Amino acid sequence: MKNFILGFVLLMVANLSNAQGRLSDHNTIGWYTTTITPRINDKVSGHIEYQWRRNKLVKDWQQSLLRVGLNYKLNPNVTFHVGYGWIETFAYGEYPIAAVPKRFPEHRIYEQVVINAPLGKASLLHRLRLEQRWVGRLNAPTSEKANEYIYLNRLRYMPRLDVPIKGKFYAALYDEIFIGFGENIGENVFDQNRVGILAGYKAGTKFRVEAGFLNQTVQLGREVGGKNVFQYNNGMIINTYLNL
């Protein structure tokens, strides 16, 4: 069943990549993330995360994202997580995500499970996340804040492979796909896909940092001139993790 679902998803993405009659928007991005995990007890920990997402690497805003949540470690390889996210998305690129080209807010609740499968010295992580999203909509160019909030559902799946290189250094590769479902989805059942290639440094169990290349493909939930719009965003990613 798992192989069938994965095959279906890959086929859908392939079909999208071959589709004609679309508009393309190319941007150079930089994502800079700090994640703090304060320990509460042996099984429970907190989660504090901020992502400073920029267009033109650092020059302009792409998105501001704050997450807070709780982790529950069922065993060394399985962790459950629930959390809340507050996001502001800005008008960037040739075809902004919102029809009214202004920044808009989003409130998000999410649940996820992370399964870590050791592969010798390497490890393969699977993260499955379900999101309930309330996305702000501005109805006119004169609006200064969201006139209404649209409810959306989204499912995310990410496999990530971490491979030790030498000593405290490692390399990582991941691919995350986003699928929208339910009412109000619009054009983007396929919401987006992210591919990252990273090199990292792990200083014990309390600190690690990693940096590398990120490719983000986003399908807008609206059409422009009767055509679907895809953003192709490429750039740099830097992640910092603190375990307290």
Does residue 232 form part of some domain?
yes
Give pLDDT, residue 106. Answer: 98
- Residue whose token pair is 């320990």: 39
Does residue 17 form part of some domain?
no
* Residue 183 lies in domain: 24-243
Residue 42 to residues 60, 69, 114, 202, 230, Cα–Cα distance (Å): 41, 16, 17, 21, 44
Structurally, how many domains does the chain consist of? Answer: 1
Residue 229 to residues 52, 148, 194, Cα–Cα distance (Å): 24, 23, 17
Residues 6+ apart with CB under 8 A from 110: 69, 82, 83, 84, 85, 129, 130, 131, 132
Question: Mapping DSSP to helix (H, G, I), strand (E, B) and coil, where does residue 48 land?
Answer: strand
Give pLDDT, residue 13. Answer: 53
Does residue 42 form part of some domain?
yes
Locate all alpha helices (DSSP H) within 144-242, ordered by sequence: none
Does residue 5 form part of some domain?
no
- Residue 238, amino acid: I
Give pLDDT, residue 12. Answer: 53
Give pLDDT, residue 20. Answer: 62
Q: What are the tokens at 66?
A: 């704050």
Give pLDDT, residue 186. Answer: 82
C-alpha span between 191 and 212 (Å, rounded): 23
Does residue 39 form part of some domain?
yes
Does residue 229 form part of some domain?
yes
Residues found in the chain:
244
Residues 6+ apart with CB under 8 A from 122: 161, 162, 163, 164
Tell me if the pTM is above 0.95.
Answer: no
Does residue 2 form part of some domain?
no
Please report, for the domain that includes residue 115, its CATH number: 2.40.160
Torsion of CA 77, 10, 97, 194, to 10 degrees: 40
Is 220:97 a contact under the CB 8 Å cutoff? yes
Does residue 15 form part of some domain?
no
Give pLDDT, residue 19. Answer: 52
Consecutive 10-residue averages of pLDDT for the chain (244 residues): 48 50 95 98 98 98 98 97 98 96 97 96 97 97 95 98 96 98 89 98 95 97 94 98 96
